[in-house]
Chains A and B, each alone.
Chain A
C-alpha cells in the first residue's frame, strides 16, 4: 500500500478548515458543525504589489 497522503487524510477524517477571505464561508462551515478557524485577512503591505514582492524575497 502506498503511503497515506494529505489528500487521503482529508477524505478519511472530518474537515478542519482554515478560512482565509470570505467570512460567510466560515459561518457556513460552523453552521454545518465543521471545525473552522477564520483568518481575518487584509491585503499585505497596504496592497502594494511591489512591496509584497520585496517582502516575499526577504522573508
Chain B
C-alpha cells in the first residue's frame, strides 16, 4: 500500500460533508483508506501520525482541503486525486436552505430566529457561539474541543441573557418536535428530557415514542455540564424552562453521576420542582441520593418507563421477535472456551450503559471509555477478555468519519473480534435518525454474517446481539433495519439495555 495526498487551496467544507465523501471514496476499488480534512495544524498532525507521508510538506492552511489516500498503487491514487471535483458536489436532490455570509445577515433575513446551531471546528466554535448569544440567540453547540474555561464563560454569558447554551459537544436536541443534530423522529408529547449525552437522548426519546408516549422537548446540555467545573448551569436552566413550559408534565434527566459539589445543587432543584422528575444516572448507583420528588432509575429503559407512567400513560411494548428461551438455546451452541463479550458501539452512552449492565451481572469489563479508571484498555486497538468499545471516541474519529456516519471502522473491528476464538458474543448498536448513515443496518449486516462465518469455519457459533435506536418515523425505517440485521444472523432487541442484558446472560454461566 502507498499513500498519496493533495491540497485544494481555499476550499472549505464542513466535517460531516467530508465524512460522507470519505465514505464514498473508501468504497472505491483499490482504495484502502481515504482521509479528507481541512488543513488545520491539528488535522495535519493527525494525518502525519496516521502514516500519511510528507503531509507537512504540502503546506496546507485551515482554509485548504487536504485529501489523503492509502491505495494499492500511486497510479490508482493519482487517478482519484486528480479528478476530485465530482466527489465534492452536494447531492442536488437534497433541500437547500437560504444561504448568507454572517449571523447578522441571517437575522436580517429571518428576524424571528431563536436558535443558532454552531458546528464549526472547535478552535472557532467559542467565537461563533459568543456572536450568536450576543445576537440574542439560544445556541446548540455541536462542536467539540471547546475548553472547559470557554464552556463556563459561554454558559455564564448565556445565563445573563436568559438564553440557553446546549453543549459543547451536544449531539442531540429536540425542540418542539424539531430534531437538532443527530436526533430521531419522535411523536410530540408531554415528557421533557434533559440529557448530558447525544445517544442517551436518542435512545430514551425513541423508547418513549415506541412505547406509546411523546416528547415535548429534549434538551442536550453537554457531557461536562454536571461536572463541578460547570456546576450544572444548563441543566438547572433547562429544568427551570421545562417547569414553566405548559406542554411539559414530566421532566426526565439523563446523566452520568454529577460532580460531588454539584449533587447538592441539582438535588435541591429537583426537590423544589413542581412537576414530577425522573432521574436516570448511568454508571454509578446513587449519584443523587434521597430525592423527595423524583423517581430514581439507572438505565434508559426504566427511565422511559417511569416517565411514561408519571405522564399518565401505559408502556405499550412492541412484539418481541426474541423468544424467552433464546438464552438457553444460544448458550447451548457455545463451546466452553467461548467466554467473552465484545461490544463494538457507535453510541458512547449505549456503550457506557452496557458496561454497567455487565458489571452489575458480576463481569469485569474493559473499555476505552471505562466505567472505572482501572479498566481502561492500554491499547484501544486490541480487546481483552470482556471489552466494550466506544468507537465514537476521539482515538477512532480523529481524521476519520464517526461510526454513526460510516460503519467502516466498526466493520473491521467486528471481523477482528470474530477471529478470536474466546469470543462468545458480539454486542452492537445501530443508531438511526437525522444525519446518521442512510442504511446503518445494511452496512453492518455483511460484517455480521462474515463474522459468523469466520467462527463457523472453526466449528463455533458466534452470537451477534444488537439493538436499533430509532423509530418507524426515521428515514431509515425501524422495521427494515431490524429485518436486515436479523437476516444477517443477529438477535435484535428493542433496546440497548435489553441487548446488553442478554449478552451478559449468555456468558454469565461461565463466570459463576
Q: Within the complex, which residue of A5, A23, A43 is in contact with B62, where a contact is CB–CB below 8 Å? A: A43
Q: A21-B143, A22-B15, A37-B99 are in contact. List 18 more A-B contacts (CB 8 A).
A: A7-B164, A7-B241, A9-B114, A15-B115, A18-B106, A18-B107, A18-B110, A24-B16, A24-B17, A25-B16, A27-B97, A28-B435, A31-B434, A40-B100, A41-B128, A42-B12, A44-B124, A56-B127
Query: Beyond A13-B114, A25-B117, A27-B96, is A40–B106 a contact (Cβ under 8 Å)?
Result: no
Query: Beyond A37-B100, A37-B113, A40-B99, is A46–B119 a contact (Cβ under 8 Å)?
Result: no
Contact assessment for B101 and A39 in the assembled complex, using a CB-CB cutoff below 8 Å? yes
Instruction: Count how many chain B residues have C-beta atoms less than 8 Å from C-beta atoms of the other chain.
Output: 69
A sample of 19 cross-chain residue pairs with beta-carbon separation below 8 angstroms, ordered by A number, consists of A5-B163, A11-B217, A12-B245, A20-B103, A20-B119, A22-B119, A25-B16, A28-B434, A29-B97, A31-B434, A32-B177, A32-B179, A39-B100, A39-B105, A41-B12, A41-B128, A42-B12, A43-B120, A44-B127
Contacts of B114-164 to chain A: CB distance below 8 A: 114-121, 123-124, 127-128, 132, 136-138, 142-143, 161-164
Q: How big is chain A's contact interface, by range?
A: 35 or more
Complex interface: chain B residues within 8 A of A17 (CB): 113-117, 180
**Interface residue B453 (Cβ < 8 Å from any Cβ of A):** no
Q: With the chains together, A9 CA to B474 CA distance in Å?
A: 27
**Interface residue B109 (Cβ < 8 Å from any Cβ of A):** yes
Contact assessment for B128 and A20 in the assembled complex, using a CB-CB cutoff below 8 Å? yes
The residue in chain B whose Cβ has the minimal distance to the Cβ of A25 is: B117
**A residues bordering B, Cβ < 8 Å?**
2-3, 5-32, 34-44, 46-49, 52, 56
Q: With the chains together, A47 CA to B117 CA distance in Å?
A: 20
Q: With the chains together, A57 CA to B179 CA distance in Å?
A: 36
Complex interface: chain A residues within 8 A of B178 (CB): 14-15, 29, 32, 34
Complex interface: chain A residues within 8 A of B244 (CB): 2, 8
The residue in chain B whose Cβ has the minimal distance to the Cβ of A26 is: B97
Q: With the chains together, A55 CA to B181 CA distance in Å?
A: 30
The residue in chain B whose Cβ has the minimal distance to the Cβ of A35 is: B110
Complex interface: chain B residues within 8 A of A49 (CB): 123
Complex interface: chain B residues within 8 A of A42 (CB): 12, 63
Q: With the chains together, A32 CA to B105 CA distance in Å?
A: 23
Binary contact track B69-113/A, C-beta < 8 Å → 1, others 0: 000000000000000000000100011111111110111011011
